[in-house]
Every structure is written in C-alpha cells, then in structure tokens.
C-alpha cells in the first residue's frame, strides 16, 4: 500500500520531496514539511550497520507516524549483507514507502568506510549493495548520488545506469561532486544526462530555492520530480509555494506571525519527543533559519542563541512582534 503511494506520486508528476538531511529531517520537521505541501519526505541517513548492532539512537531514528506518510527511509553503509539484514529486521515490516541508499554523502567520517559518495568510486560494490537490497526488500529502492568524486571523475550518468541495471527503481541526483561538498553551483546538465540514459524515474536535487527554480530544473532536465534540502530549512512554506505555482495560483510569503506560530508548533512537536532542554537546544538551528531575513532580527537571533526553555523562546518572539508592530505604526 505505502509503495503504491510512492508510484502514484511519480505517475501524477507530483514528486516534491523533502531531502534526507542529517540533524534536520527528523520526525517533527518531516511532519511540518508534509503539512506545508511536500508530497513525500525522507528520513535522515541511518546506518545499516548501527541498526544491525541494535544501536538505540539509530533505531529511534526509525520513528514515524501516519501524519507524515509517505516517508522514505534512507540507509547508508558499505556491506551488502548488512543492508539486507537491516532491511529484513527493521524496514520490511515498517510503514516506510520506500528505501533510499545514500551514495552521495561527502563527509570523510563516512567516505573513509567506503560509505556514501565513496561508493561512486566502486561501482561493483555499489551494484552488489543494490542487488542485495533488492533481493530482500518488499519496497521500492532508490539510490541518491552526486555527480561523481571530483571534477576529473564525473561518472553520474554511467553510474546511474549501472544502479538501474542492478535493480534500482529510481535515481536521485545532487549534481555536485564529492569534492565540491556544497561549494559552487549544482550542474543541472548532469541531471539531464542521467535522465537521458535511465529509464527509471530520475529526481532532480540541488539549489532549488524558489518556485522558479523548481520549474527551471524540471524544464532543463526532464526530471520526474524534485527534492529540496536547504531551501526548506526555515522555509517549509516553499513546498506550498511550488504547489501553488505549478497550479497557476498566486502565493505569498509567510508573515512574521505565521513564522512565529510555526516556530511554536515546531517547538511543541520537538518537546513531545524529548526533554525541554534538549528540545530547545535541538531547535536552535531551526530558530536561526526561521528568523533569517526578518527585519531587525539580529537582536532576537542573539537572544535566541542562549535560550533553554520553550517559554523563553516565545517571550523573545512576542517582544519582537510587539516592537515591530509598534515601530511600523
């Protein structure tokens, strides 16, 4: 059933995904993005090996609720049999709509273990992983890749085709090399090249920050859907704006009041899953992203950097609103 939703979104050309974002795309943020119009959301990357070792933190990352469905679980690792075990033990009986394999993470701690983007340098191992995952998975399987390792090794089209031949049901492309990390600009031509060689759906990712970017990337690449990461951080409204724009409807930016009530809800959701102090600490980065670009926000951003309780956050925001509303009268 869950994987039918996944296929339907593609068939309806309505694949507007929240990207897997370590430290960001947890259950509360995923739920918020779904409320704002993301048609599908991705978990943070979760270690297949840690799941096999019954690591509590990794198991907790599998928490999901029906309000966020459909959600895709992203796994990373380098050992085909470990992937297979993790899927049999934890994923096949879960509510996740699909499984994504991380072959794009550039972080040295990950690549030194032949995980993440290091797999783009070892096509045989990457194929073996996809085959092992497909042999046990009861859900569709996608692979998320970069352009390649560095500018002299841009292999995304050939690599994507090899993943398709190994059994991948979908390819997601973030067209930067591992070396680039997040520097420079995504090279959307590479997504177009992947789309040309693959017959499975291809999802475009990288530097989509506005409805105009969403339209441009789809037009320029012929991709079957889009995936948004940084553009959604502090701005989950982007999904609704894209949905409206695609329907030819007008859209607006959130008001300060809307941003602050979103913060309040987000805080409540995070507090529901952990103690208040840890929740507020985890929310700090979101508070910075939500308040980025607000007029005269430097002062509240400074104040928010040291808050420890929910009510402190709300007092700072209310004071700011009061001052802004009175200053503009």
Ligand X SMILES: Cc1cc2nc3c(=O)[nH]c(=O)nc-3n(C[C@H](O)[C@H](O)[C@H](O)COP(=O)(O)O)c2cc1C
Active site positions, annotated: 105
Check residue 88 and report its DSSP letter: I
Cα 290 to Cα 293: distance, rounded to the nearest angstrom: 8
CA dihedral of residues 219, 185, 231, 279 (deg, nearest 10): 150
44 or 68: CB nearest ligand X: 44
Query: Rounded to the nearest whole angstrom, what is the least distance from the CB of residue 96 to ligand X in the complex?
Result: 15
Listed ranges 19-27, 83-91, 163-171, 246-254: which one lies at the site for ligand X (CB under 6 A): 19-27
The residue written with tokens 């859900």 in the block is 139
Listed ranges 17-25, 29-37, 265-273, 274-282: which one lies at the site for ligand X (CB under 6 A): 17-25
Query: Rounded to the nearest whole angstrom, what is the least distance from the CB of residue 229 to ligand X in the complex?
Result: 3
Cα 240 to Cα 218: distance, rounded to the nearest angstrom: 17
Considering only 140, 229, 236, 240, the residue that binds ligand X (CB under 6 A) is 229
Helix (H, G, I), strand (E, B) or coil at 183: coil
95 or 107: CB nearest ligand X: 107
Considering only 228, 242, 259, 270, the residue that binds ligand X (CB under 6 A) is 228
Check residue 231 and report its DSSP letter: G
> Using the rule CB under 6 A, is 206 a contact of ligand X?
yes
Cα 71 to Cα 59: distance, rounded to the nearest angstrom: 16
Query: Rounded to the nearest whole angstrom, what is the least distance from the CB of residue 205 to ligand X in the complex?
Result: 5
Considering only 10, 40, 61, 208, the residue that binds ligand X (CB under 6 A) is 208
* Contact characters 278-317, ligand X, x per CB under 6 A: ----------------------------------------
Considering only 10, 16, 17, 21, the residue that binds ligand X (CB under 6 A) is 21
Listed ranges 13-21, 162-170, 188-196, 301-309: which one lies at the site for ligand X (CB under 6 A): 13-21
Distance from the Cα of residue 222 to its chain's centroid: 21
132: tokens are 């092992």
Give the bridge partners for 103, in sequence order.
Answer: 145
31 or 235: CB nearest ligand X: 235
CA dihedral of residues 246, 252, 255, 259 (deg, nearest 10): 10
> Using the rule CB under 6 A, is 231 a contact of ligand X?
yes
Query: Rounded to the nearest whole angstrom, what is the least distance from the CB of residue 94 to ligand X in the complex?
Result: 18
Listed ranges 15-23, 58-66, 88-96, 321-329: which one lies at the site for ligand X (CB under 6 A): 15-23
> Using the rule CB under 6 A, is 64 a contact of ligand X?
no
Kindly report the three-state secondary structure assignment for every residue of 268-328. Answer: HHHHHHCCHHHHHHHHHHHHHHHHCCCCCCHHHHHHHCCCCCHHHHHHHHHHHHHHHHHHC
For residue 40, the surrounding DSSP H or E stretch is strand 40-47
Listed ranges 29-37, 195-203, 213-221, 228-236: which one lies at the site for ligand X (CB under 6 A): 228-236
Cα 314 to Cα 157: distance, rounded to the nearest angstrom: 49
102 or 177: CB nearest ligand X: 102
Query: Rounded to the nearest whole angstrom, what is the least distance from the CB of residue 283 to ligand X in the complex?
Result: 15
Of 110, 114, 104, 172, nearest to 140 by C-alpha is: 172
Query: Rounded to the nearest whole angstrom, what is the least distance from the CB of residue 320 to ligand X in the complex?
Result: 26
For residue 41, the surrounding DSSP H or E stretch is strand 40-47
> Using the rule CB under 6 A, is 104 a contact of ligand X?
yes
Question: Contact 324/295 with Cβ under 8 angstroms?
Answer: yes
Considering only 101, 105, 130, 283, the residue that binds ligand X (CB under 6 A) is 105
Instruction: Catalog residues that contact ligand X under the rule CB under 6 A.
Output: 19-24, 44-45, 74, 102, 104-105, 144, 174, 205-208, 228-231
């Amino acid at each position: 059933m869950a994987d039918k939703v996944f296929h339907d979104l593609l068939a309806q050309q309505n694949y507007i995904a929240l990207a897997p974002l370590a430290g960001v795309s947890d259950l509360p943020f995923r739920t918020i993005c779904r409320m704002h119009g993301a048609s599908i959301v991705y978990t943070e990357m979760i270690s297949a090996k840690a799941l096999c070792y019954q690591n509590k933190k990794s198991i907790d990352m599998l928490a999901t609720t029906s309000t966020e469905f459909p959600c895709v679980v992203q796994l990373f690792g380098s050992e085909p049999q470990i992937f297979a075990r993790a899927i049999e033990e934890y994923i096949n009986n879960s509510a996740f709509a699909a499984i994504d394999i991380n072959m794009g993470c550039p972080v040295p701690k990950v690549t030194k273990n032949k995980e993440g983007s290091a797999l783009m340098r070892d096509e045989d191992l990457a194929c073996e992983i996809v085959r092992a995952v497909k042999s046990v998975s009861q859900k569709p399987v996608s692979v998320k890749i970069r352009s390649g390792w560095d500018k002299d090794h841009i292999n995304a089209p050939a690599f994507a085709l090899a993943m398709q031949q190994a059994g991948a049901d979908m390819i997601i492309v973030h067209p930067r090399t591992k070396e680039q990390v997040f520097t420079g600009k995504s090279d959307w031509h590479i997504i177009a090249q992947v789309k040309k060689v693959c017959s499975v759906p291809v999802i475009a990712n990288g530097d989509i920050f506005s409805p105009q970017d969403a339209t441009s990337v789809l037009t320029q690449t012929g991709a079957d859907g889009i995936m948004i990461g940084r553009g959604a951080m502090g701005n989950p409204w982007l999904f609704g704006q894209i949905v409206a724009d695609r329907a030819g409807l007008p859209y607006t930016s959130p008001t300060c009041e809307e941003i602050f009530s979103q913060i309040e809800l987000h805080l409540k959701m995070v507090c529901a899953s952990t103690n208040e102090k840890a929740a507020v600490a985890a929310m700090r980065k979101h508070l910075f992203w939500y308040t980025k670009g607000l007029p005269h926000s430097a002062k509240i951003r400074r104040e928010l950097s040291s808050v420890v309780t929910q009510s402190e956050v709300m007092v700072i925001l209310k004071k700011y609103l009061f001052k802004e509303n009175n200053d503009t009268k």
